[in-house]
Structure 1
Amino acid sequence: MSSSDLFVSAEGAEWVNPEPGVVRRIMTYLPEMMMVEVAFESGAVGAAHSHPHIQASYVAEGSFEVTIDGRTEVLKQGGSFIVPPNLVHGVKALEKGRLIDAFTPHRAEFLK
């Protein structure tokens, strides 16, 4: 890794549209960890799914209905949640908002 890889400007990150009303961009990553910004329109859903990565998420803006392993709670700006490996989880944006997700290890499929 070169020293230029240690810093990523917002302009250098490409947005992708994984689901209706949802866009995400990789903020930075190493093999051991990845940070991703995910923006949601009001009512948009991050469909229930699971993966072998540990995921920690911070509500940077808005409010979300978050379901992890069948348990649902509403989190507002400043709230956070963590998802152990392989648990089914998903979110619904109760208003326009953004999540900052961290994954360990990185999500290789996001790099394709």
Structure 2
Amino acid sequence: MNVTSRRNARRRHAASPNSAKKRIFRQKGVTKTRIAAVLKHVPWNTVELENLNPLLQRQFVVGSGIMLARVLLKKGCIVPEHSHVNEQLTYILEGALKFWIDGREIVVKAGEVLTIPPNMPHRAEALVDTVDLDVFNPPRADWIDKTDEYLRSN
């Protein structure tokens, strides 16, 4: 095979997104599996707003392997120490939360993101009225089945 033929073969292979993905997975030694996912378009005003306690409300949308939650905390709301098997990303839209994690105090303000690894104990307090978006991977089963008593008892 001459240089031009090899170059054209590479271009044909690269033009196919499926073959490129398969090649990447093969290189990493990962078995590719597909999880059936459903396309959703969800306006927040159509999602149930749960009143967990007088200072805490939330809404969430669940995908096939991820969860997005909109959490509304009134000033002084305490989220007691807890941990979970889920990786968590917290993005503060409005307000500020103070977290206690691994012996540290971390204040996360509007426009900032905090990443919390799986199984890391943490607690938080709303310093002012706060709106945050939390992303969990995998989805929080205790939130879905409403067995998250640590949030409901305040």
TM-score scaled by length of structure 2:
0.66
Residue 21 of structure 1 is matched in structure 2 by 55
Q: Secondary structure at the match of 2:75?
A: coil
Residue 44 of structure 2 is matched in structure 1 by 10
The letter for the 2-side match of 1:18 is L
Unmatched segments (≥5 aa) in structure 1:
none
Residues 49, 19 of structure 1: CA spacing in aligned structure 2 closer, same or farther, 3 A cutoff?
Answer: farther
* 1:60-81, Cα deviation, whole Å (9 max, x unpaired): 1001111222211112111110
Q: Aligned pairs, how many? A: 109
- Aligned counterparts of 2:103 and 2:95: Cα–Cα separation in 1: 22
Match of 2:140 among 93, 107, 110: 107
* 1:14-58, Cα deviation, whole Å (9 max, x unpaired): 1113344011110x2213100001001011111110000000000
- Aligned counterparts of 2:53 and 2:84: Cα–Cα separation in 1: 17
Q: Which has the higher contact order (CA 8 A, sep 6+)?
A: 1
Residue 129 of structure 2 is matched in structure 1 by 96
Higher relative strand content: 1
> What does residue range 65-84 of structure 1 map to in structure 2 within 5 Å?
65-84=98-117
How many percent of aligned residue pairs carry the same amino acid?
A: 30
Structure 1 residue ranges, 4+ long, deviating more than 6 angstroms after superposition: none
The letter for the 2-side match of 1:60 is L
Residue 74 of structure 2 is matched in structure 1 by 41
Higher relative helix content: 2
Unmatched segments (≥5 aa) in structure 2:
1-36, 146-154
- Aligned counterparts of 2:135 and 2:72: Cα–Cα separation in 1: 14
Structure having the higher Rg: 2
- Aligned counterparts of 1:20 and 1:87: Cα–Cα separation in 2: 26
Match of 2:93 among 45, 50, 60: 60
